Amino acid sequence: MSVVVLGAGMHPWGKWGRSFVEYGLVAARAALADAGLDWRDVQYVAGADTIRNGYPGFVAGATFAQALGWTGARVSSSYAACASGAQAVAAARAQILAGLCDVALVVGADAAPKGFFAPVGGDRPDDPDWLRFRLLGATNPIYFALAARRRVDLHGATLEDFAAVKVKNARHGLANPNARYRKEVTAADVAASPVVADPLRLLDICATSDGGAALVLASEDFARSRGAADAVRIAALSTATPTFPKTVLDLPDFATDSAAAVPEPEHPFRASIARAAYAEAGIGPEDLSFAEVYDLSTALELDWYEDIGLCAPGGAEDLLRFGATALGGRVPVNPSGGLASFGEAVPAQAIAQVCELTWQLRGTAGERQVPGARTGIAVNQGLFGHGSAIIAVQGGHRS
């Protein structure tokens, strides 16, 4: 048995000044309409949590179920920072695979503050996320910049390479009605934008946004009974954690694991996330038609090219320079426009990635369509060892 995507829906990203619940409801109703189902058909609701929006954000599954109207559906709520949406998808998928339900609704939405994300309020000196702000002054763009500097030092990446990622993703986002930023960007625009954390400029870094995304997942048998035998199928879902010793520093950790007594793992953390998904799906990176990756910064997108196996370490810049990751290239990356065009709506973004996988694999992505798309991967990373990789395949196509 497998799990299929019957419906996908979104609330456009932006700064709307309303409750995250409203964004989630718009996305949920759009996904239900796309699936041709009524809310009462849903047996399980998986909510992706938002910790910045009061108690309802912490219990998002129940919050969305109540807003849609209590029906007795079972619920869960998942928080894993930027991987929250993928964790919610995993929870719903597990319920279906276990035979505990046939139809599940996954919803994530956020109303984000302007500017940098801050730690949760209060004094918590035993919380490493609180400490990285207080001891290091390490807002998110600071560690994006540290990773970018590492790429410059290890692989010779240039500011022009980083700008080219933004130019590509902005061009992709022009054709996405849900994107917040739908404007052509030039390399000169990136270079002229203010330095936020050297070497990254303002246009190298994703914004914070409001937005929502939702999916209706179902068993293959249920989909077949509704005449949707060719629905997009989730072929694999990985939420792998790091393997000791973790030798590449990811904030909010302040030090790496020791590698003195134990050999380093064959693959670093982010690469292991995708490899676990490939193993489950029975495919490799050579089988991908496109990818949606977690571009918190332009430099980070280049790291993901290597982490998902599109090239060897140090090869990302050449892929970019030769147009392989642009629409029309060998394996387009972020045809949605990515976070560069959307910004972060933390609980929604991994779900939004699967929405894009769905529309691309259905062939309904309009001007941003990847021709002949059959297999797509979506990857992202949350703090404290949370990450995810979701592989989806065209309806009827077996990997």
Q: Where are the domains of the chain?
A: 3-113+208-225
Beta carbons within 8 Å of 198's beta carbon, 6+ residues apart = 145, 149
Q: Give the Cα separation of 129 and 383 in Å (integer).
A: 9
User: Residue 397 pLDDT > 70, yes or no?
Assistant: no
Cα-trace Rg, the chain: 20
By three-state DSSP, how is residue 44 classified?
A: strand
Q: What is the pLDDT of residues 183-202, one digit of tens each?
A: 999 999 999 999 999 999 99
Task: Give pTM, 2 decimals.
Answer: 0.95
Tokens, residue 206: 């994703």
Beta strands in 146-256 (DSSP E): 195-197, 200-201, 210-219, 232-238
Six-digit token string for 309? 């196996």
The rounded distance, in Å, linking the Cα atoms of 104 and 116 is 34
Contact yes or no for 230/377 (Cβ under 8 A): no
DSSP structural state of residue 186: -
What tens digit of pLDDT does each residue of 8-39 get? 999 999 999 999 999 999 999 999 999 999 99
Report the pLDDT value the prediction gives residue 115, as an integer from 0 to 100: 80
Amino acid letter for position 323: G
Lowest mean pLDDT among 13-22, 60-69, 326-335, 380-389: 380-389
pLDDT (0 to 100) of residue 220: 95
Unique residue bearing structure tokens 């030039």: 186
Q: What is the pLDDT of residues 74-130, one digit of tens each?
A: 999 999 888 999 999 999 999 999 999 999 999 999 999 888 887 777 788 888 888
Of residues 278 and 257, which shows the higher confidence score? 278
Confidence of residue 396 (pLDDT cuts 50, 70, 90): low
Confidence of residue 398 (pLDDT cuts 50, 70, 90): low
Taking residues 381-392, report their average pLDDT.
88
pLDDT per position as a tens digit, 166-181: 999 999 999 999 999 9
> Could you tell me if 171 and 184 are in contact, meaning their C-beta atoms sit under 8 angstroms apart?
yes
Which residue's entry shows tokens 């009974």? Answer: 225
Measured on CA atoms in the order 228, 360, 355, 87, is the torsion positive or negative?
positive
How far apart CA 214 and CA 65 sit, in angstroms, is 13
**Structure tokens belonging to residue 172:** 């992709």
Residue 91 pLDDT = 97
* Residues 200-218: tens digit of each pLDDT: 999 999 999 999 999 999 9
Q: Tens of pLDDT along 123-168?
A: 888 888 888 888 888 888 998 999 999 999 999 999 999 999 999 9
Provide the token pair at 58: 């912490």
Q: What is the CATH number of domain 3-113+208-225?
A: 3.40.47.10
Q: What pLDDT is stored for residue 252 in this prediction? A: 75
- CA separation for the pair 314, 26 (Å, rounded): 42
Distance CA 117, CA 127 (A): 16
- What is the predicted pLDDT for the residue at 199? 97
Can you spell out the DSSP letters for 49-110?
P-TTS-HHHHTHHHHHHHHH-----EEEEE-BTBTHHHHHHHHHHHHHHTTS-SEEEEEEEE
> Between these two residues, 181 and 248, which has the higher pLDDT value?
181
Q: What one-character-per-residue DSSP string does 321-375 give?
A: HTTTTSTTSSS-B-TT-HHHHH-B-HHHHHHHHHHHHHHHHHT--GGG--TT--E
pLDDT class of 258 with cuts at 50, 70, 90? confident
pLDDT of residue 261: 82
Of 48, 79, 81, 41, which is closest to residue 62 (Cα–Cα)? 48
State the DSSP code for 309: T
> What is the DSSP annotation of 4-20?
EEEEEEEEEEE---S-H
Single out the residue of 2, 4, 31, 9 nearest to residue 394, CA to CA. Answer: 4
pLDDT of residue 233: 97
What mean pLDDT do residues 292-304 have?
96
Q: Which residues pair with 294 in a beta bridge?
A: none
